Amino acid sequence: MPLAPGTSHTSDFAGRSWSEAWTEGRDTPEAGSRWKRGLGVGSMQGDSGAFLREITHALLRSPGDCIPPSMVAPPSPPPPPPDPQFVLRGARSAVHALHFCGGAQGQGHPLLLSGSLHGLVHIWSLQTRRVLATLDGHAGKCVTWLQTLPPGPQLLSQGRDLRVHVWDLAEGRNAIVDSVCLESVGFCRGSVLACGPQRWMLAMPGKGGDEVQILEMPSKTSVCSLKPEAEARPGMPMCLQLWQLVTVAIRIPVLIPVPVLIPVPNPVLIPNPTPEPVLADSSPLPLLLAGYEDGSVALWDVSARKVCSRVACHEEPVMGLDFDSQKARGVSGSAEKALAVWSLDEQRALQVHGTHQLTNPGVADVRIRPDHRLLATAGWDHRIRVFHWRTMKPLAVLAFHSAAVHCLAFATDGLLAAGSGDQRISVWSLYPRM
């Protein structure tokens, strides 16, 4: 299918999106006009009407009732909830995966990729707000995860047809260059970690229902399979996140060597500060956070193939998690009415920090903004909730969608996209970065 905007037959939907978004979030002026109250009947007879009005009002209360004291209005009412910046329509089925992509080579404009229930991947231009291309590679099965890879415009897409495809999108191509077979049919999304200029690590749900498989790409060689201990019985993995801890081993001659773990924000960019006196494996330590069906979150040491720590965060399956390696703090959402915030201490032990109660149960996805200041959650109750990540103070409840919100994505510039079962993708600009 050609990529040129405007020629695609899907663009007529996208073209309307802006104006519809503009009117959709609001009441029409007629409906919103103020309602005037008053019992004034034509000609009230002087002052004596006032006390009769009192009588009538007193009567309208039942004798046992008291009028509750009126709420004291806060000095300045909070601003009304914001509207989406724009809305993308045309996915034609529920949106289950979203991913922002820095933009094609040479073009400065970022792209948004969305995966739909019916197996299509749409590539949206955020400039024209139209579909640039549609990729159909999952045989009509739901696309659950999208991820671009750093070298060149390569795209990973995971579908429920038990495939993970690698797409080459460079120079207008849209061809599958490689694919990996999955062994689990769940909704668990994969995770990637770049290990080198042309190597990356891919974590996917593995066979047996409770395993996580680690592959090295692009060679597709299996690194290992992480199988929980038999007695732990955590159930299926529900969400995965690979990340990496740079181990800086400082060898001090006199003292006993103690490896000190320092979380580094961007491990790839930081060269190993001590190139010569190193421990046996000085390479960054790949770690995997996995949320399980029984509501626990486990931290795996991938190279040692063992669980470092596991903590029960929820009563219900964990539906999504995100981790802030800068603060060594993460958050997870589940099918229940609470978010759990947990942290990782220096002994790589997970601890639950606290929970935050929500109004309605069910969190499909949680995302921390790349600047680590905001947290967004996708709710089954059709609402997106935004929190201040450091304090977990609720900041906004975005009630735009009319079906469960399935996925969220933050762009590097702070733009938030949410995909929902109502086939729409809403794009929000909240608290723009200063």
Partner 1 sequence: MVDLDFSRAFTVNSRMDPVLSTVRLTVREAVHTLSSSEDGGCIFSTLGSLKRYLGETENPALPEEQEEFARIHFSTFLRCLVGKLSPDWLELLPDGQLEELWASFFLEGPADQAFLVLMEAIEGAASKVVGLPDHLGNRLQRENLAGFFPQNYFPLLGEELLQALHVVVESLRGGLDCSVSFLSQVLGKACVHGRQKELLGVLVPRLTALTQGSCLWQRVCWRLVERVPDRAMEAVLTGLVEAASGPEVLSWLLGNLVMKSKKAQFVMTQKLLFLQYRYTTPVLRSLLGYLAMDSQRRPLLIQALKELLETWGSSSAIRRAPLAQQHYISKAILVCLAHLGEAELQDCRDELLASLMAGVQSHLDSSLPAVRRLGMIVAEVASAQIHPEGPPLRFQYEEDELTRELLALATPQPAADSPSEAGPPVAPVTAETTNEEMVSSGGPQAQPEGSDSELDSDDEFVPYDMSGDTELRSSKAPVYVRDCVEALTTSENWERWEATLRALEGLIFRSPAATQEVSVELAKVLLHLEEKTGVAGFEALRQRALVAVTVTDPVRVAEYLTTQFYALNYSLRQRMDILDVLTLAAQELSRPGRRQKPPQRGPPGPGPQPGSPATPAWQAVVEERIRSKTRRVSKGSAGQGPAADPNKFNSVAGYFFFPLIQLFDRPLVTFDLLGDDQLVLGRLVHTLGALMYLSVNTMVAVPMGKALLEFVWALRFHGDIYVRQGLLSAVSSVLLSVPAERLLADLPDELLEAQSWLADVAQKDPDEDCRTLAIKALLLLEKLRDKLLPPPPP
Interacting residues toward partner 1 by CB under 8 A:
24-27, 29, 32-33, 35-36, 38-43, 45-46, 48-49, 51-52, 55-56, 59-60, 62-64, 66, 77-83, 327, 329, 341, 353-356, 359-360, 373, 381-383, 385, 387-388, 390-402, 431, 434
Residue closer to partner 1, measured from CB, 49 or 235: 49
Rounded to a whole number of angstroms, the minimum distance from the CB of residue 35 to partner 1 is 5
CB of 341 to partner 1, least distance (A): 7
Which among 114, 115, 117, 113 has a CA at the least distance from the CA of 94? 117
Three-class secondary structure of residue 270 per DSSP: coil
Nearest residue (CB) to partner 1, 15 versus 49? 49
Nearer to partner 1, 85 or 355 (CB): 355
The nearer residue to partner 1, 176 or 397, going by C-beta atoms, is: 397
Backbone angles phi, psi at 34, to 5 degrees: -70, 145
Closer residue to partner 1, CB minimum distance, 80 or 253: 80
Cβ 340 to partner 1 shortest distance, Å: 10
What minimum distance in Å lies between the beta carbon of 239 and partner 1? 22
Residue 104 tokens, joined: 């094609």
Closest to partner 1 by CB, 307 vs 392, is: 392
Task: List the 130-136 sheet strands across, edge first.
Answer: 95-101, 111-116, 120-125, 130-136
Q: 82-117 burial, b for 16+ CB within 10 Å, e for fewer? A: ebbbbbbbbbebbbbbbbbbbebeeeeebbbbbbbb
Q: How far is the CB of 11 from partner 1 (least distance, A)?
A: 24
Closest to 416 (Cα-Cα) out of 390, 398, 434: 398
Q: Judge whether 356 and 349 are in contact, CB under 8 Å.
A: no
Q: Please enumerate in sequence order all residues whose Cβ is within 8 A of that of 336, keeping only pairs 6 or more positions apart, or say none.
A: 314, 315, 316, 361, 362
Euclidean distance between CA atoms 342 and 274, whole angstroms? 31
CB of 186 to partner 1, least distance (A): 24
